[in-house]
Amino acid sequence: MTDRQRELCGKVKNARYLGLNGKQIDDAGAQAIAEALKVNTTLTQLILWQNQIGDVGGQAIAEALNVNKTLSWLDLSQNQIGDAGARAIADALRVNKTLSWLNLQLNQIGDAGARAIAEALRVNTTLNKLFLNEKQIGDAGVQAIFEALKENTTLTLLFLGNAQIGDAGAHAITEALRVNKTLKELYLEENQLGDAGAYAIAEALKLNKTLFRLNLDKNQIGDVGATAIAEALKVNKRLIWLNLYNNETGDVGAQAIAEALKVNMTLKELNLEKSQIGDIGAQAIAKALKVNTTVTELELRFNRIGNAGLHAIGEMRQVNRFLFTPFIDDQINSLATLRPRLATAEDLHNVFHLLTSEPALDDQSAALPALPTELAELIMDKAHYWQGVQHTKREWFHVDTPDRVLKVTVPQGNSIRVKAIHVLRDWRKRPDNTGDCVFDLTVQDEQGAVRYKCSVKPTLVDANLELVTLLPANHPVIRQMRAGWQVQVRASNDALFEWLYVGYV
């Protein structure tokens, strides 16, 4: 045993609570900790998040859980444990009688590991909180976990965010919530539920009588899904906390939720931040809260609510004495949402056909003259009507890491020619120094080599809204861009909204 292993073993042997997060503990270190756990009779909480523990270390800790009789809280998040380690921990959960809180999120666990944990949940009778946010888990793993929850009677909290949950996973969740009597908190953030998944979960909410916290943020839920959830809220008598942050609720969905709030008497906290709600939706919610007496917290920041909506909320505050100050600051300029619809390949084909095939006009007896193919191609090339790729950023403006940067990549295709780059930004407060009001762009080729950097001043300014357009005439590098090239925009600390578009033919 190395000095490092002896040190870790000594820390564990007689401890009652031990936090070893961020200590660069590897598999060898985890093995030493596991050996001490086998003889420790006092430790109740062990925190090992953000280390370098892999499957071997996970298996060693699982072996210790087979014999340890005191540990109730174990945090192994942000390590490198994969399916093999998860299977070993699952085997330990079948026999362990003391562990009640387990965090395995942000490891490398996939469907196989999730299925093993699911099988353990069928027989485990002590675990009540499980954190399993994993990108590698898909519908198969999710289905297995919720099938197990039809039998499990102890789990009260489940985190399963960022798990690539689609239609099949949503159906499994629905079926479990219809019969499960113990799950109280369910967190499904950053999945792919969409309207279909939201509708399925809403149907279960009409029957479920135990769930009181539900997180559906960042799930691509539109007004159809939001309306389905609203219908469920009209009959659900248990849910007190609902998070629909960063979805596509819109005014139609907000109006449906408002109607539900007129009759729902249990929901206390509602998060509708970044939900594309405008004045109409805000006015509907304000009207509902004049009669609702149970909602105490309401999040409406980062929407596109204007003066009319803010005025309606202000009037509601004069009547409603139960709602704490609603969060309604940092509204996005409504002009930022009026971006053009991108042309599709079918659109381009149809326009070209109209130019070359003598289309008849409804209000004229004569037909338009057909253009020569060469002239039609020239018109299509010069027109500002292209296919394109785009990326919208609504958060993490203070972070400039590769996974958070605003960027788009030119898609694969033969003879792609980039025609324009547009960048739109809405400031929370526009900088006093106009030198800070620039767009810092970087163009990289398909190998990741930087081909071009520039700082461009906006060509259009409206209040806090800025737009810049880059064309080949002013920026010749655009003519060189092809499939696989990437455009990046440097983060802006005080922005509310940014949009990047690359148009091509």
| pLDDT reported for residue 218 | 94
Residue 411's alpha-carbon distances to 72, 207, 347, 349, in angstroms, are 50, 45, 18, 19
- List the chain residues with pLDDT less than 50: 365
Identify whether the C-beta of residue 181 lies closer than 8 Å to the C-beta of residue 158: no
Query: Among all chains, which residue has been given the structure tokens 């861009």?
Result: 481
Those residues whose C-beta lies under 8 Å from the C-beta of residue 459, and which sit 6 or more positions away, are 467, 468, 469
CATH of 385-504 given 3.40.1760, 2.30.30, 1.10.10, 2.60.120: 2.60.120
User: In degrees, to the nearest 5, what angle opens at C-alpha 99 toward C-alphas 97 and 105?
Assistant: 140
CATH of 3-332 given 3.30.300.90, 3.80.10.10, 3.30.1490.270, 3.40.50.720: 3.80.10.10
| pLDDT reported for residue 365 | 47
| pLDDT reported for residue 382 | 58
Query: Among all chains, which residue has been given the structure tokens 């398909």?
Result: 446
Q: Which ranges constitute the DSSP H helices of 271-360?
A: 279-288, 307-319, 345-356
Q: Which of 386, 345, 409, 389 is nearest to 499 (CA)?
A: 389
| pLDDT reported for residue 13 | 81
Q: Is 385-504 in the same CATH topology as 3-332?
A: no
Q: How many residues does the chain have?
A: 505
The structural domains of the chain, with segments of one domain joined by +, span 3-332, 385-504
Q: CA 6, CA 345: separation in Å to the nearest integer?
A: 65
Q: Which of 92, 58, 96, 97 is nearest to 75 (CA)?
A: 58
Query: Among all chains, which residue has been given the structure tokens 């919720």?
Result: 146
| pLDDT reported for residue 65 | 96
Q: Tokens representing 322?
A: 């139960």
| pLDDT reported for residue 197 | 94
Q: CA 116, CA 252: separation in Å to the nearest integer?
A: 42
DSSP letter, residue 452: E
Q: CA 313, CA 438: separation in Å to the nearest integer?
A: 35
**Which residues lie across from 102 on neighbouring strands?**
74, 130
Identify whether the C-beta of residue 182 lies closer than 8 Å to the C-beta of residue 154: yes
DSSP letter, residue 339: P
**Three-state secondary structure call for residue 277:** coil
Q: Which ranges constitute the DSSP H helices of 234-306?
A: 250-261, 279-288
| pLDDT reported for residue 494 | 80
Identify whether the C-beta of residue 268 lies closer than 8 Å to the C-beta of residue 295: yes
Q: Which of 205, 160, 206, 212 is nearest to 185 (CA)?
A: 212
- Orientation angle between helical segments 83-95 and 55-65, nearest 10 degrees: 0
pTM exceeds 0.85 for this model: no
Give the torsion sign (CA, 461, 466, 469, 475). positive
